[in-house]
Amino acid sequence: MNSGLFHAQVKSWKELDLALKTAKYDEAKSILQVIDSNQLKGLDKGLYYYYFSQLQVYEDKHHAASENGRRAIQLFKNNKELYWEGMAYYHVYKVFTHQHGLKIDKDFYLKEFISIANHTQHPELLSIKHLRIAIKLAKASKGNEAIEEYRKSIFFADIISKELLKAIIMSNMATAFQYTKPEPQLDSSLTYLRNSLKVFEKYGHKDYIAYNYNNQIIVLNKMNRFKEAEIYSELRKSVDLAGKGNKAKFIFMNNGLKTAKAKGDYEKALYFAEEKYKLDSIIGNESQNNAIVEAEAKYQTAEKEKQLLISEQRTTYNRNIALGLGGGLAAVSIFAFLVYKNTRRKQRIAEQEKELEIQKKEKILKDQELNAIDAMIEGQEKERQRLASDLHDSVGATLSAAKLQFDHIAKNRDKLVELEELFEKTGSLLEEAYTEVRSMAHLKNSGVIASKGLLPAVEKLAKNASSNNGLTIEVQDFGLTEKLEASLEIAIFRMIQELITNIIKHAGATEAHISITQHEDTLNIIVEDNGKGFNPRKMKKAEGMGLHSIEKRVEHLEGSLEMDSTPGRGTNIIIDIPL
């Protein structure tokens, strides 16, 4: 079958790619089986070997997977498909990481991948590059540095809207939170794992779900929440992996061994140790390792010979060029002046274009600043309207009652018998109005503008809100040892106040959690509730003016806001503010 016929039957390579990414390996296998690879050419043939190699990884045929991966690299290279060449180099690197006890230089493939990523500046390749750097830092227990690399990886994944890739990054990022300093952030680790799990469940990727359960077991054990760890252990057992998934099973058995040891259950520990040993033998299969090492040695030798040939050809070419340049030196001199004039003209054009670009950027910055100011004015106006409403509905009603009492006394002061009692009632009404005004002012300020700082103000806000509406709000802080700049504290407090107001008014929640974590150069705020949630995509702008105002405030502070909400499953909002 020719390439065109293949495209007509499969529709596109995206169908095969999706089958592999959603762990539908039987479907991917059936697609590949109907293809006659001998009839494919160029990019199509490279893609065939690339996807066939991916399927062989899940069948634990790592030797065959590496062979087909290298075939794909060569085909992509011959067709100058740099993006796919980079992806194939990265895939072969991952193949070798799946095989235990393999003594080859697998970093050669990672370096080639990074070189192509830097050259092409393709967002997906850059996202994977920062992911690999972050994973190495996390393994070296450099949690804070790893998290910075994970954030860069997420940034590039967002550019191309790769939801599954972003979930994989977040799932890995959860590991880094276990090694942050001055202390591990296990709550954040668990939050990122559970947020990424929703995406894996959406795509139905059983292998990633299994890995996620494994990682949650590790975190829960570190938090001494052994009963919850047991629940996720049972959930992990219920996942029927689409492929053999020996690496995922190995990690599960290792986690089970650690849990059993921690609980003193040595019978279970023995079982997990035996199963782990069996899997280690499969993953570190000696015959596969020997075949891979032998094939890799041949490949590297061929690559060196090829590079030597290219070097010789380049030397010959350069020598010929030098002879040609010597003969044409006189002609070049004639045109030198014309070239100089042309270069000067191009420089002037480039300078003008640069000036226009600077003006364009300045206009964008001014527009952003105006938008931020509009959002702040909008928030202030909203606060004034709310205060006016409270004064009208509460204090206004009390003062109206007091006025009626005074009018009654004034008109009938000579006729009234219980004058003293009426004065007492009127005085009580005025006292009540005074108390309401004072309480209102105290609530609006809540101590932020006073000297106690952000954390006491948020705790007081949570305490006041918890005493009403059947809502309990918990506040947790990490690393918040010193006061921040006053205007920043007020801005952050107003955002949290707005979020708590939204929970009280709209969420119907019984529990909420506020987490404030101060890193070296970032302040992380997480506000969660167990309320009814909502669909952010269907929410009209007018209905979410409070959240819209918060987004603008965060943007003005050069921060980032992530919102995760599902109807019936509560809301989770994460804000990062640079310090």
Q: Where are the alpha helices (DSSP H) in 177-225?
A: 186-203, 206-222
Residue with the bigger pLDDT between 115 and 540: it is 115
Structure tokens at 197: 């799990």
CA dihedral 252, 253, 254, 257 (to 10 degrees): 120
Helix (H) or strand (E) holding 419, with range, is helix 419-445
Indicate the pLDDT class of residue 8, thresholds 50, 70 and 90: very low
pLDDT at 3 exceeding the cut of 60 = no
Residue with the bigger pLDDT between 155 and 311: it is 155
Least confident of 19-33, 290-304, 456-470: 290-304
Q: Which tens digit of pLDDT belongs to each residue from 248-263?
A: 566 666 666 777 777 6
Residue 483, pLDDT score: 80
If you average pLDDT over residues 14-18, what whole number do you get? 84
Q: Count CA atoms closer than 13 A to 186's CA, side-chain side.
A: 12
Residue 418, pLDDT score: 72
pLDDT at 104 exceeding the cut of 90 = no
Angle at 151 between CA 148 and CA 152, to 5 degrees: 90
Residue 310, pLDDT score: 59
Q: Which tens digit of pLDDT belongs to each residue from 25-61?
A: 888 888 888 888 888 888 889 998 999 898 888 777 8
If you average pLDDT over residues 323-329, what whole number do you get? 62
pLDDT at 541 exceeding the cut of 70 = no
Give CA–CA dist 205/466, Å, rounded: 40
DSSP three-state, residue 25: helix
Sign of CA dihedral 375, 378, 384, 386: negative
Residue 5, pLDDT score: 45
Identify which of 505, 394, 500 has the alpha carbon closest to the alpha carbon of residue 441: 394
pLDDT at 9 exceeding the cut of 50 = no
Indicate the pLDDT class of residue 6, thresholds 50, 70 and 90: very low
What percent of the chain is modeled with pLDDT above 70?
A: 71
Q: Which tens digit of pLDDT belongs to each residue from 162-210?
A: 899 999 999 999 989 998 999 999 999 999 999 999 999 898 888 888 8
pLDDT at 131 exceeding the cut of 60 = yes
Residue 118, pLDDT score: 95
This prediction has a pTM of 0.47
Identify whether 182 is preceded by a cis peptide bond (ω within 30 of 0): yes
User: Quick one: 377 exposed, middle or buried, by C-beta within 10 A (0-12, 13-18, 19+)?
Assistant: exposed
